[in-house]
A and B are shown apart, each in its own frame.
Chain A
Amino acid sequence: MNCDRDGKTELQPVPAAAGPLRFQITMTSNSRLLPVVRAAISELAAVQGFDDRQCRRITLAIDEALSNVIRHAYGNRCDQEIELICQARSNFLEFAFVDRGEPADPAKFCARPLDDRAGGGRGTHIIRQVMDEVRYDRAPDGNRLCLKKYLPGAHGAPGCK
């Protein structure tokens, strides 16, 4: 919408559409789909109001979580199903990964010291560094991993990450 004042054009912001933001991806466990998911997550984080740095970090954490499902739950098979549900609430983003693969080792979700000798576990470390809440549940037929990221300064956010 333009408003002419004294011959100068002022651009007015268009209010964002109201309503819930939620989308769901059902994908095969094929690593060739990782860039596709990264693109979607990066845009979602930007729409939710995260800055560029946080968008990159959130995208990285989601990519690491998906890679872990492909690698550990499904043993690198490329033909299994993964569900990723993404929701944007008023002051946080929430992601749920659902798979029907091998159970995860909950101990591996615990933060542990990293050094250049660490053979693995960097992906889980990144997820823990970036996300504000990480919850893993084992269902009878699969795994469910939930990650939550608060907007900076939001109630419940544990401080800048």
Chain B
Amino acid sequence: MKTATRERPGITIVDVAGDIDMGTSPELRKTLLNSLRAAPRLIINLREVRYVDSSGIASLVEVLKEARNTQKRLVLFGLNRAVHEVLQLTRLTKIFEIRETEEEALQA
């Protein structure tokens, strides 16, 4: 799994690529929590994520909770079918703000 961070005024965008599983989710969690501290809004690009399991979802949930606790916003975009299915299986489709594209996420 790889991540890259981009900054916009008031927004941090984290691009994630590869597989998010129990081996890689701790690193993702750390990167996302650090990025959340940097700006009032965090956008996570999941377009290049091929696979995510429950540990990856747990990391996203933890970051969402931290965002709520600190009055910040978290938006996900670019979810493919596999990622959507895991969110459905874990009944978490409604708790995240999800957009199709980066433009929509930036305008959210």
Interface check A101, CB cutoff 8 A:
no
Interface size class of A (residues with CB under 8 A): 20 to 34
Please judge, given known A-B contacts A31-B22, A31-B23, A122-B57, whether A38 and B51 are in contact too, CB under 8 Å: yes
**8 Å CB contacts to B: which residues of A28-63?**
31-32, 34-35, 38, 53, 56-57, 60, 63
Which residue on chain B has the smallest CB distance to residue A114?
B91
Please report the C-alpha to C-alpha distance between residue A114 and residue B91 in the assembled complex, in whole angstroms.
Answer: 7
Residues from chain B with a CB closer than 8 A to the CB of A53 are 81, 85
Taking a contact as CB atoms under 8 Å apart, the answer to whether A116 and B89 are in contact is: no
Please report the C-alpha to C-alpha distance between residue A67 and residue B25 in the assembled complex, in whole angstroms.
Answer: 12
Residues from chain A with a CB closer than 8 A to the CB of B55 are 67, 123
Please report the C-alpha to C-alpha distance between residue A115 and residue B82 in the assembled complex, in whole angstroms.
Answer: 20
| A118 CB, nearest partner CB in chain B, Å | 8
Please report the C-alpha to C-alpha distance between residue A67 and residue B82 in the assembled complex, in whole angstroms.
Answer: 18
Taking a contact as CB atoms under 8 Å apart, the answer to whether A122 and B85 are in contact is: no
Please judge, given known A-B contacts A34-B21, A35-B21, A67-B21, whether A123 and B89 are in contact too, CB under 8 Å: no
Interface check B38, CB cutoff 8 A:
no
Residues from chain B with a CB closer than 8 A to the CB of A114 are 90-91
Interface size class of B (residues with CB under 8 A): 20 to 34
Residues from chain B with a CB closer than 8 A to the CB of A67 are 21-22, 53-55
Taking a contact as CB atoms under 8 Å apart, the answer to whether B54 and A64 are in contact is: yes
Residues from chain B with a CB closer than 8 A to the CB of A31 are 21-23
Taking a contact as CB atoms under 8 Å apart, the answer to whether B86 and A60 are in contact is: yes
Please judge, given known A-B contacts A35-B19, A67-B21, A116-B92, whether A123 and B85 are in contact too, CB under 8 Å: no
**8 Å CB contacts to B: which residues of A103-154?**
114-116, 120, 122-123, 125-126, 129-130
Please report the C-alpha to C-alpha distance between residue A123 and residue B90 in the assembled complex, in whole angstroms.
Answer: 9
Residues from chain A with a CB closer than 8 A to the CB of B19 are 35, 38
Residue-wise interface mask of B (71-89) relative to A, using a CB-CB cutoff of 8 A (1 in contact, 0 not):
0000000000110011001
